[in-house]
Amino acid sequence: MRPGWQATLGVLVVVMAVFGSYLVLPHLPISAWPAITWSVVLLPAAAFIALIRAALRIRSLNRRTVSDVSET
């Protein structure tokens, strides 16, 4: 998977998790909130880690491309 797609999917997961929590939490009993809240915390955290990894990969690819161009 290309890094740009990873970043796009990461942003999409964060938006879906936050938006879904605002739609779902008010309709659930209070006892169910901790489980839902953990999933809402863990999904964006995983997406954020994926975004950072994708950004670092894009950065290293750009460095490699620049160094390849400067050598020729």
Q: Please state the rounded mean pLDDT for residues 3-21.
A: 73
> How many structural domains is the chain composed of?
1
pLDDT value at 68 more than 60: no
Cα(55)–Cα(8) distance, integer angstroms: 11
| Helix (H) or strand (E) run with residue 68 in it | helix 33-71
Q: Please state the rounded mean pLDDT for residues 6-34.
A: 72
4 three-state secondary structure: helix
Range of 9's domain?
3-71
